[in-house]
Amino acid sequence: MNTAPLPFQLFQRAFLASLRDPHRSRAPDGVPTGRWRVYRELLYNKIEASLAACFPNSRALLGPRAWTRLVKAFIAEHRCLGPCYREIPDEFMHYLQARGPGAADPPCLFELAHHEWMELVLMIAEAEAPAEIDPAGDLLANTPVLAPVLSLSCYRFPVRAIAPDRSGWSRWKKRAVEAETVPHFMLGFRNAEDEVRFTELSAVTAQLVQRLIDQDPAQAVTGREILWRLAVDSGPPDPERFVSYGAATLLELRAQGAIVGVRRSPNPSNETLRGT
């Protein structure tokens, strides 16, 4: 339905355009500058407050001038589709992704921001643990079940370690991507106490967690089978030993809260029933 804009809508669009990007779009004629500035400041402060709350380290890494510039560019260039104020950080991540790395950005900025954002995402995600799990069941003989709110990210930078040292942030501002050779696998999840936890995983544990994420719940594959397949695919000399190491890893993940329990492996009579 394309209809010609009504006269009052021309004013609305011009006004919003000037609020977003005062350098490109002048305020409509007849709008008092002082009152226009009230709206511009409210807008900037609101967006900045949301981003500062979600991205405190990214903000500190950039420093006040670069941060202000980035926030202003976000307001000017991005169209926020999410109707909720708390979605501003999501919109900011969309913006950073679409914009690509800025020439003056510290190379680790995007990953640091992503990691900070994940904390918010995991905190408010809606998923709840399925009811029919056994928290203490055997992880090899049954299907291990991951925490319902969980994410596995692969970073080039050790995002948990990005922090100021004696020279402030300068080390992280300069540190080049090329310097990073080993990927950092970061597992984030919400535990049974509803707290968000992060833990860095080895490459092989990350593969194991990825296979658990990819499990089709209808398949009821046991922990032993998952480990065995992983061993066969990645080819260690002794799969049996690999499975016993893997069993210890599964236990550790459960102790941390990333695995919440097991879905019982169906007994033969159930199999028959399901087959009918």
In 3-state terms, what secondary structure has residue 235? coil
Q: Does 30 bind other proteins (CB under 8 A)?
A: yes
Nearest to 114 by CA among 26, 211, 188: 188
Stretch that binds other proteins, among 12-20, 64-72, 109-117, 157-165 (CB under 8 A): 12-20
For the bound state, the minimum distance from the C-beta of residue 19 to other proteins, rounded and expressed in Å, comes to 7
Q: Does 274 bind other proteins (CB under 8 A)?
A: no
From the list 16, 104, 163, 203, which residue makes contact with other proteins (rule: CB under 8 A)?
16
CA dihedral 120, 124, 127, 130 (to 10 degrees): 100
Q: Does 12 bind other proteins (CB under 8 A)?
A: yes
How is 29-90 classified by DSSP, letter by letter?
TT--HHHHHHHHHHHHHHHHHHHHHH-HHHHHHHHHHHHHHHHHHHHHH------SGGGHHH
* Binders in 98-157 for other proteins, by CB under 8 A: 123-128, 149
DSSP state of 104: T
Q: Does 198 bind other proteins (CB under 8 A)?
A: no
* Binders in 62-91 for other proteins, by CB under 8 A: 78-86, 88
- Exposed e or buried b for every residue in 165-176, given b needs 16+ CB within 10 A? eeeebeebbeee
For the bound state, the minimum distance from the C-beta of residue 28 to other proteins, rounded and expressed in Å, comes to 8
Closer CB to other proteins, 31 or 66, in the complex:
31
Distance CA(221)–CA(230), nearest Å, equals: 13
For the bound state, the minimum distance from the C-beta of residue 140 to other proteins, rounded and expressed in Å, comes to 31
Footprint of other proteins (CB under 8 A): 1, 5-9, 11-13, 15-16, 19-20, 28-32, 34-36, 38-39, 42-43, 46-47, 50, 78-86, 88, 123-128, 149, 190, 194
